Amino acid sequence: MSASKTNKSGSVLIVGGGIGGMQAGLDLADSGFKVHMVQRDTSVGGTMVMLDKTFPTGDCAMCMISPKMVEVGRHLNVNIHTLSEVTSVSGQAGDFTVKIRKTARYVDPKKCTGCGDCEAKCPKKVPSEFDQQLGQRKAIFSLFPQAVPNTRAIDASVCLCLTDPQKKRCRLCEKVCKANAINYEDKDQEIEVKVGSIILGPGLARYDARVRPELGLGRWPNVVSSIQFERILSASGPYKGVVQRPSDQKHPVKVAWIQCVGSRDNHNANPWCSSVCCMYATKQSIIAKEHDKKIEPTVFYMEMRAFGKDFDKYVERAKNDYGVKYRRAMVSAIREEPGTGNLILRTAGEDGKLSNETFDMVVLSVGFEPHRDAEAFAKTFGIETNEYRFAKTSHFTPVKTSRDGVFVTGIYQGPKDIPDTVMQGSGVAGSVMALLSEARGTETVKKELPPEKDVAGEAPRIGVFVCHCGTNISSTVEIDQVVESIKKEKGVTYVTNTIYACAQDNQDMIKQTIKDQNLNRVVIASCTPRTHEKLFQETIREAGLNKYLFDLADIREQCSWCHKGQNEVATKKAIKIVRMAVAKSRLQEPLKSETVGVTPAALVIGGGIAGMTSALSLADQGFPVHIIEKDTELGGLAKNLYRSLDGSDVQEFLAAKIAEVKAHPKITVHTGAEVKKTDGFVGNFETTLSSGSTVKHGAIVLATGGMEYQPTEYLAGKSANVITQRDLEKKLFGEKLVPRTGERFIMIQCVGSREEPAQYCSRVCCQDAIKNAIAIKKRNPAAEVVIIYRDIRTYGLREDYYKEARDLGVLFVRYDVDRKPVVEQAGSKVLVKAWDFMLNRELQFDADWLVLSVGLRPHPSTDSVGAMYKVTRNPDGYYLEAHVKLRPVDFPSEGLFVAGLGHAPKNLDETITQALAASGRAGVILSHEKLAVSGIIAKHKRELCMSCLSCLRVCPFGSPYIDKDGKISHNEVKCMGCGICAGICPAKAFQVNNFRDDQIIAMIDAAVESEEAGVIGS
């Protein structure tokens, strides 16, 4: 985008380096904005880094978030300020001035290489906050092993030197640091930055369950909080993933989870629902069972709030496949059994009966709160909060705070899980891109690089640099032996050692050596490529070498660190690892990173709220947008909605949106139109519409929407008394119905949800029922409302309305799926019979209105649109996103994004958030003039290919395709370099750059050469 003159700043301040802040930061930095990230901790990561695994897929949290952290840490346009807080904000949207106070770290990040020698030597141990007091850390520490930045920090409150007035004690870290990075004289400082917009993602606090002594946290050692249990489960946690009791390290068998600790409780704690505890308890019980088959988990709960995508199925799996017991009961007290450390739970069942049961260990599912100093925080940023100290937002502007230009993401906006936080992260990014569109690209920096040397056809001249990493490698691996041994390798012309290969001075040395020795390939033997490959690739590129002429031999993480004290064998292994890298390096070739142009326009399929929100946000970013709507008018499913749960007028909002869309100069609306076909790939699509006209665009948003289930049960369609919530909503808000005194409304929940063939929660129906029930009761308190439900799922801050309904006298009767209510016509009324589990008997009601809370379904076009774009649908027919946790609006195929009900059932505010997120993600692509294609892709040799279609059928990204000549071609732009095609191709027509078969075979041969003779069978 051309940067025209503007008063707006092209920088953005993000407060909070959790997953939401990082997502927003990367989206913005990748699309032409400079990002300042302020983080209170010593590392980015937030809460997610503390988790072991995530629901409902069981993916490792650290494996997912670590690459993001590395990306944030290395991004040229993300400036991380750790140990920092914002002290003041002045100015207005587009032009804020922010003061940041940075607390002294006592370690110079410019010099520190993160080797960790100081931490190893530090004699002062204190309980680890990160491990929730179950483990220990040093006074000089890294928050967790994968911390970003990896610069250690000194905790001045416990450091022996810094607590000594003369600063004479200890000073061991200073002595051991070969990089001279320790600075005991470091001071706090204040800096000032100018930004155009502010994103608040300060994260959460957890309810301190010690407030409730009857539950025994802090009193009985084998009662732990859920976050402590998370650390217990973690392979990098205090018990290395072994499930054991803190009191005696015994392996517990009977483990209890107690839900809603600190949540949904007006008296002792917080009134809201924390949204995630039902699911994390389910996850923890499954993972505990996976760690130790003997464990028998029991979850004590009030209501199972498995409202998210595939959550109900996850709970079913926990029950059926893992034998997790779920008991609807309140736990009133926990006592320790004298002598055993076991815990006796006193519980009250649904029928009111009290009982005692003994468990080996108890986990308290503690809820979320706004972070501790949320009040002061709100004052600093000048934003309004709600009564619970969460940032105030509205249903229709879910990521906007009360102050213009200040946005919010994550739990500061209300309790939510990781994907909803990530969605908000991209959503705020989209909003900021729209706000600051004219300032895009004004403050970002770009690296100038020398031209690349042409080394094609030259014999390999490999330079090998063997790193000591302080003493991390050299205390176990004999560096000199490695150097001497590698000198003999074919193709190696230069070998040397270096104290820290990654330190700035050594980087310069490496660059100089490349020139002096005329090297054309470089191998560095140091640490893992996952954190350092990109750094070294940049180094050799700065010296004029193609960055793919580099390989990293990991002799630290995969050698010295795991073979401590075995110097001889570790040295032998290190030599082998370097030889393998050299063998690969010999066969490396310079790779070109192709670029393709981008058509800066978007296609949005679906003209409902999701589609219109996405389109408006993209159009405000400056991109032309085409909305394709099947129907003759815009609006989608929201046409039948009148009020949101908080009472906002949906029809008014919808009318305003439609008018805004129609008036926007950048938006073209195609109603009564469908997509016939789309050709091309990310950045370069061409779509033919049913009208025959064609549109060129660079990104696609699938917002095809959903529809309501058409009920056939409970006399639906057969009795005039039986209507749906939507019909009732129309009567109440459209026709302004005032209920008569004594007029009785019975509502049945989960009609067409949470049962085969729709084994999922439709997420919106509980709130719809409560919204309508409240309206009835407010208009005539003498009208009667009974809601017959399975679990009331008013998650998050929606819980308030559940309470309001109860306070207004709405009756709630629970039913079980095995014992559904029975409905009969009885004259002018219907008779509803339902079993009451509290009273343990059947209840009968005659109702004037039986209102069915019908579930949601994906729109019928989801399947055909999905098939056309080759995006997968889940068994329920909803689009399957690229990654359930961290890529909730992306598809595996690049350039395609999803928003709204086509992805999963969700509320209006969530649809709006996801639509903003889709526009944020699409904005990242469209803001580029050119897209770079990775060098690590599969190369297709057409002359070997026989078009057997194996690749076409297995490629997850759709890069092989049948070309115009009827044979297979390969679109390298779509290729992600996974190499599945190469594995399956019977003609060996595919090879992945830098992972070619000859390179892998050379590594295999190097791994066994000079090994003892083959010992197969001997």
Partner 1 sequence: MIVGQQKPFDEIWGMVKGFKKVLVYGCNTCVAISHAGGGKEAEILASMIRMKATQEGVDMLVDNAAIERHCEPEFFEPLMEKVRTYDLVLSTACGVGVNFLSDRIGDIPVYPGVNTSFYGAVPKAGFFVELCGGCGNCILHLTGGICPVVRCSKSLMNGPCGGTDKGKCEVSKEIDCAWYLIVERMKKLGKLEELFSIQPPRNWATGTHGGPRRLVYEHIMELEEEKKAGK
Partner 2 sequence: MAVAEKAPEKATAPSVEKPHETPAGWEPNVLAFACHYCAFAAADLAGVMRLSYPPNVKIIRLPCTGKLDHIHILRAFERGVDGIFVAG
- Smallest gap from Cβ 866 to partner 1, in A, equals 18
User: Residue 394 binds which entry of partner 1, partner 2, none, with Cβ cut-offs from 5 to 8 Å by kind?
Assistant: none
Q: How would you write 709-739 as a 3-class SS string?
A: CCCCCCCCCCCCCEEEHHHHHHHHHHCCCCC
Asked if the peptide bond before residue 757 counts as cis, ω within 30 degrees of 0, the response is: yes
In the list 60, 330, 535, 987, the residue contacting partner 1 (rule: CB under 8 A) is 987
The two three-digit tokens of residue 750, written as one number: 């989960």
User: Residue 558 binds which entry of partner 2, partner 1, none, with Cβ cut-offs from 5 to 8 Å by kind?
Assistant: partner 2
2 Cβ contact partners less than 8 Å away, ≥ 6 residues apart? none
Checking phi first, is residue 285 left (phi over 0); if not, alpha (psi -120 to 50) or beta? Answer: alpha
- Smallest gap from Cβ 966 to partner 1, in A, equals 15
Binding mask 995-1014 toward partner 1 (x if CB under 8 A, else -) reads: -------------------x
Strand partners, 54: 59
- Smallest gap from Cβ 1000 to partner 2, in A, equals 6
User: Residue 982 binds which entry of partner 1, partner 2, none, with Cβ cut-offs from 5 to 8 Å by kind?
Assistant: partner 2
Measured from the CB atom, the residue of 822 and 944 that comes closer to partner 1 is: 944
- Smallest gap from Cβ 882 to partner 1, in A, equals 22
User: Residue 124 binds which entry of partner 2, partner 1, none, with Cβ cut-offs from 5 to 8 Å by kind?
Assistant: none
User: Residue 449 binds which entry of partner 1, partner 2, none, with Cβ cut-offs from 5 to 8 Å by kind?
Assistant: none
User: Residue 569 binds which entry of partner 2, partner 1, none, with Cβ cut-offs from 5 to 8 Å by kind?
Assistant: partner 2
- Smallest gap from Cβ 988 to partner 1, in A, equals 6
Sheet with 95-102: list strands edge to edge: 84-92, 95-102, 189-195
In the list 838, 954, 1001, 1008, the residue contacting partner 1 (rule: CB under 8 A) is 954
- Smallest gap from Cβ 943 to partner 1, in A, equals 11
Q: Where are the extended beta strands (E) located within 7-160?
A: 11-15, 34-38, 53-54, 59-60, 78-81, 84-92, 95-102, 125-127, 136-138, 140-141, 153-154
Q: Which of residues 401-440 bind partner 1 (CB under 8 A)?
A: none
User: Residue 62 binds which entry of partner 1, partner 2, none, with Cβ cut-offs from 5 to 8 Å by kind?
Assistant: partner 2
In the list 210, 240, 515, 953, the residue contacting partner 1 (rule: CB under 8 A) is 953
- Smallest gap from Cβ 63 to partner 2, in A, equals 5
- Within 10 Å of residue 82's Cβ, how many Cβ atoms? 23
In the block, residue with structure tokens 């859920």? 226
In the list 60, 120, 160, 984, the residue contacting partner 1 (rule: CB under 8 A) is 984
Question: How, if at all, do strands 960-962 and 744-751 pair?
Answer: unpaired
Rounded to 5°, the CA angle 195-199-202 comes to 125
Query: Does residue 932 belong to the site contacting partner 1 (CB under 8 A)?
Result: no
- The count of residues interacting with partner 1 (CB under 8 A) is 14
Measured from the CB atom, the residue of 692 and 986 that comes closer to partner 1 is: 986
Q: For residues 414 and 369, is the Cβ–Cβ distance under 8 A?
A: no
- Smallest gap from Cβ 860 to partner 1, in A, equals 23
- How far is residue 50's CA from residue 132's CA, in Å, rounded to a whole number? 10
Q: For residues 781 and 775, is the Cβ–Cβ distance under 8 A?
A: no
Measured from the CB atom, the residue of 298 and 993 that comes closer to partner 2 is: 993
- Smallest gap from Cβ 207 to partner 2, in A, equals 30
CA-to-CA separations, 624 to 265, 617, 667, 699, 928, in angstroms, rounded? 49, 11, 6, 11, 15
- Smallest gap from Cβ 78 to partner 2, in A, equals 22
Strand partners, 990: 940
Measured from the CB atom, the residue of 175 and 953 that comes closer to partner 1 is: 953
- How far is residue 548's CA from residue 537's CA, in Å, rounded to a whole number? 7
Positions that interact with partner 2 (CB under 8 A)? 60, 62-63, 66-67, 145-146, 235-236, 240, 528-530, 554, 556-564, 566, 569-570, 572-573, 576-577, 580, 936, 977-980, 982-983, 992, 995, 997, 1000-1001, 1003-1005, 1007-1008, 1011-1018
Segment lying near partner 1 (by CB under 8 A), choices 210-218, 748-756, 898-906, 984-992: 984-992
User: Residue 950 binds which entry of partner 2, partner 1, none, with Cβ cut-offs from 5 to 8 Å by kind?
Assistant: partner 1
CA-to-CA separations, 845 to 805, 811, 837, 988, in angstroms, rounded? 19, 12, 16, 71
Q: For residues 574 and 477, is the Cβ–Cβ distance under 8 A?
A: yes
End-to-end alpha-carbon separation of the chain, Å? Answer: 68
- How far is residue 585's CA from residue 465's CA, in Å, rounded to a whole number? 13
- Smallest gap from Cβ 982 to partner 1, in A, equals 11
Segment lying near partner 1 (by CB under 8 A), choices 757-765, 834-842, 978-986, 999-1007: 978-986
- How far is residue 169's CA from residue 159's CA, in Å, rounded to a whole number? 9
CA-to-CA separations, 701 to 66, 578, 610, 782, 890, in angstroms, rounded? 28, 46, 9, 48, 9
- Smallest gap from Cβ 950 to partner 1, in A, equals 6
User: Residue 570 binds which entry of partner 2, partner 1, none, with Cβ cut-offs from 5 to 8 Å by kind?
Assistant: partner 2
User: Residue 231 binds which entry of partner 1, partner 2, none, with Cβ cut-offs from 5 to 8 Å by kind?
Assistant: none
- Smallest gap from Cβ 144 to partner 2, in A, equals 9
Query: Does residue 966 belong to the site contacting partner 1 (CB under 8 A)?
Result: no
Q: For residues 139 and 122, is the Cβ–Cβ distance under 8 A?
A: yes
b/e burial code for range 801-816 (CB count within 10 A of at least 16 → b)? bbeebeeeebebbbbe
In the list 831, 948, 978, 1000, the residue contacting partner 1 (rule: CB under 8 A) is 948
Residues contributing to the site for partner 1 (CB under 8 A): 946, 948-950, 953-954, 984-988, 1014, 1016-1017
